[in-house]
Structure 1
Amino acid sequence: MASSYSFDIVSDVDMQEVDNAINQSKKEISQRYDFKNSTIEIELVKDEIKITADDDFKMNAVVEVLKGKFVKRGISPKCLEFEEKKGETLGSAKQTVKIVKGISKEKSKLINADIKGSELKVKTQILDDVLRVTAKDKDELQKVISLVKGNDYDISIQFTNYR
């Protein structure tokens, strides 16, 4: 029997699923009547999605389609960080969406403080963009998981390496 158990709290995104969601969005947009005769471009460049549309209204519709496809593919829309829209020319709108991976130091400290405040008998370690939780009892780890799931940290959170 193990002397202690642990798991990692991470924020990770499956880039293959992101690519699939973008391709599905492109297909839906090409088939929708309200986008007929419109110039809509969605492209994935490293960890950014670049969207170009004819106007602000169509940009919002494209973003909603994209979010819907992300949810259907099991990717939380919380991993998307929208930058300010840019209207470059008359009749054109651009937006860059960053795909957020990893837990920032500020979010790690916030999650850590919530875990410590719960007075559960666990130890936490902040390792780069991962938060490791260790305990002698599996039930304590289950309580930490439900605590973290119950709070909204504005990031997509997964639990990995449960040992």
Structure 2
Amino acid sequence: MPSFDAVIEPDLVELRNAVEQAQKEIANRFDFKGSSAQVDLTSPTPKTRELTLWADSDFQLGQVKDVLITKLSKRNVDIRLLDFSATPQKMSHDKLKLSVPVKSGVDAETAKKMQAALKASKLKVQAAFQGDALRVTGAKRDTLQEAIALLRKELNEWPLSFNNFRE
């Protein structure tokens, strides 16, 4: 029976490349000379990723954020994966640190919304929540393609990707 997985995950290679490009631009820009402005990509646990932005002031932190967003956009990394809602932490010597978690995996609430959208559409597919993904199975490949189109249309606030397509 054909199936696919609906997941929320970043392209880690492009994310790393965008962070490295942002670091290069920050190192070369005149307005960041002599400052501690930088961007780091860390992985506290194997499944979670986090961007850390460092700067000397609020204005500089905003500039670092703008440089990072520009580089991410140019590399086609979805900005909706990043959660910039945290407030910056004050560190020693009046430096600021902003931790930005990178969303990965489908949480239970989003999976329920996806399942409800599929049930309401009356498509002949079954959806099961498995770990960090929603597995959708159906009898025909065409119905699965309709399910993908429906999920993209209904849940456009989430950067969904579809992988593990099997016949």
**TM-score, reference length from structure 1:** 0.87
Distance 1:152 1:92 in 2: 38
Q: In structure 1, what is the equivalent of residue 30 of structure 2?
A: 33
User: Which of these residues, 61, 86, 89, is aligned with residue 86 of structure 1?
Assistant: 89
Q: Counterpart in 1 of 2:108?
A: 105
Cross-structure match for 1:116 = 119
Partner of residue 77 from structure 1, selected from 71, 76, 79: 79
Task: Report the alpha carbon displacement of residue 129 of structure 1 after superposing the two structures with TM.
Answer: 0.9
Q: Distance in 2 between matches of 1:13 and 1:62?
A: 20
Determine if contact 1:86/1:94 at 8 Å carries over to the other structure: yes
CA-atom RMSD in angstroms: 1.9
Number of aligned pairs? 160
**Which one of 54, 57, 63 corresponds to residue 55 of structure 1?**
57
- Indicate if the aligned counterparts of 2:7 and 2:134 stay in contact, CA closer than 8 A: yes
Moved more, 10-19 or 84-93: 84-93
CA distance in 2, matches of 1:155, 1:97: 17
- Deviation of 1:31 after TM superposition, in Å, equals 2.2
Name stretches of at least 5 consecutive residues in structure 2 with no aligned partner: 44-48
Q: Note the C-alpha offset of 1:89.
A: 5.4
Distance in 2 of aligned mates of 1:102 and 1:117: 23
* Cα distance in 2 between the residues matched to 1:49 and 1:120: 39
Aligned equivalent of 2:145: 142
- Change in Cα spacing, 1:92 to 1:152, as seen in structure 2 (3 Å) is farther
Question: What is the CA–CA distance in structure 1 between the aligned matches of 2:25 and 2:160, rounded to whole Å?
Answer: 28
Quote the sequence identity (%). 34
- 1:50 alignment partner, SS class: strand
Quote the offset at 1:5 in angstroms. Answer: 1.6
In 1: Cα distance, 2:115 partner to 2:87 partner: 31
Unpaired segments ≥5 residues, structure 1: none
Per the normalisation by structure 2, the TM-score is 0.85
How far does the alpha carbon of each residue in 1:38-91 deviate from its partner, in whole angstroms, 9 at most, with x for none?
320211221211111111122112112112222222321111123222234574
User: Is the 8 Å Cα contact of residues 107 and 153 (structure 1) preserved in structure 2?
Assistant: no
